[in-house]
Structures are given as structure tokens and as C-alpha cells.
Amino acid sequence: MLLAWFHTFSSAQIGSMLLLVGLSVSTIIPLLVRRALKIEFDEHFAKGAEEAFKLFISLSLLLLAFCMVRAQGDYRGAEDIVGREGTVMLKLDRAYQSFGTADTDELRQVLRSYADHLVKDEWAQLATGQRATSATEDLRAMSLVSKQLEPETPEQQVARSEIIQSVNQLNDLREARISASLAKLPAVFWYAISTALSFLMVFGWLQSPLSKMVTYVGGVTCGVCLMLTVLISTSGIFSGEHAVSSEPIRNALAQMGKLEAGS
């Protein structure tokens, strides 16, 4: 997929490529062709092309702005899910500690293993909407053993309730994060943007005089390429230079700390 290929580059590289291609197609090539063939358009024809060019400038910028807002919404939603995962992990670790049995001590270690596998194994697979088997096994073990805990005191009863609730939340948040990794702009928006930009270039070629075409169309192309760079860079929620970070989970892992043997 083209977007996946773009996300292998930095934002600066994406912007440079778009700018090079955009200026070549919209300005440099038409300039050379019109000079070589000595093409000059009728004044009224060029005026009509200019009005159409203005229309497609507005349409292109509107589409890009709308898509950027939508992409940012998906991105912020994924960030929120990851932040909540880190918070629930800390809550679950405290609940295990409050229960205070050998089983929950082992579960605390499994919880740390789960967080570690998310960061090291699963995060790299989120770009394609995949999940890590190692993290799945850790979560399955926590779910199974936590439901088998037998409280003997009122305090343990409260702790078990928090444990079950937190484990269920971890399951739900993980599924929500994986679903968020699959979120993307519908293809119809990319088709609409491509069509609008195509018409924008065509009407840009018909500007007269030639000096106006170079400055007017070239300037618009630079602005459109800038917005398109931002859109492409942020459309990869878990891929590319600006992918959602696993920092909240790393921070939770650091706060939980390592368990001493027998603790």
C-alpha cells in the first residue's frame, strides 16, 4: 500500500518528495512544454481557467483540512486508549498486592511480563493490525487464574472484585487498541483528494501569462504539499515517524518495578 510505503520515511522526506513531484508536474514541466512549443492561451480562456483554479484550490484545502481533523481524532483516540491501559495496569498491580497470596505474587510477575511483551513484541505489529502471541498468553493466564482466586477476608473480597474488573478492562482496552490500529481514512476521501488535485493541476497549466503560472501555481502547490505531508504523516496511527507511543505502558512498567524473589 502506498501509505505504508510513505510511512517508512520521515516527515521531512515525505514533504520533500511531494514538493519535488508536485512542483515538477504543476509548474516545471508545463513551463518547459509551453516555452518549447510557444503555447499562449487566449485571455478569456485563461481567465475562465483561473476562476476554476480558485474553485479547486478551495475544494482541495477543504478536503485536506477535513481529513486532517478526522485523522487527528483517530490518533487522539488511540493515545487515550494506551494511556488508560497504563493506568489500569497500575491499578491491577495494586489490587494483586492487596490480595496478598502466592498466586497473586505470581500474577504480578505475569502482569509485568504482559506489559513488557506489549512494548517489545506487540507494538511493532500494530502497524498491520496484528497482536503478539506472547502478550495474548500472558493476558489469558491472568484472566484464568484471577477468576480462580478464593478470598478469605473482606479485604481480599474487595481486592478480588477490583482484580476481575481490571483484568476485564485490560482485555477490552487491548481489543480497542487493536481496532484503533486498523482505523484509516475511507478510500473515497483519497479518491476525492486525488481528483481535486488533478483538476487543480490541469487548470493551473492553463494560466496566462507564463510568469503568472509559475508563481501562482507554484505557490499554491507548495501550500497543498505542506498540508498533504501533515495528512500522510499523521494518518498512520501506529506506523511512521509520528506513531502513537507505548510510553504510558513503559511508564507503568517502570512504576510497578521489578519484584524481588519471594515478594
Domain that holds residue 15: 2-256
Distance CA 189, CA 185 (A): 7
Q: What is the pLDDT of residues 67-88, one digit of tens each?
A: 999 999 999 999 999 999 999 9
262 domain residue, yes or no: no
Distance CA 207, CA 53 (A): 9
What is the rounded radius of gyration, in angstroms, for the C-alpha atoms of the chain? Answer: 27
263 domain residue, yes or no: no
26 domain residue, yes or no: yes
Q: What is the pLDDT of residue 262?
A: 46
Q: Are 88 and 114 in contact (CB under 8 A)?
A: no
Helices (H), 100-153: 102-117, 123-125, 133-147
185 domain residue, yes or no: yes
261 domain residue, yes or no: no
Q: Are 237 and 178 in contact (CB under 8 A)?
A: no
Q: What is the pLDDT of residues 90-123, one digit of tens each?
A: 999 999 999 999 999 999 999 999 999 999 999 9
Q: For 209-240, b where at least 16 C-beta lie within 10 A, e where not — what string?
A: eeeebbeebbebbbebbebbbbbbbbbbbbbb
Domain count, the chain: 1
133-147 and 102-117 are packed helices; what angle lies between their axes, rounded to 10 degrees?
A: 160
Sequence letter at residue 16? S
Q: What number is the average pLDDT over the span 224-233?
A: 93
Rounded to two decimals, what is the model's pTM? 0.86
Lowest mean pLDDT among 1-10, 19-28, 122-131, 197-206: 1-10
170 domain residue, yes or no: yes
113 domain residue, yes or no: yes
69 domain residue, yes or no: yes
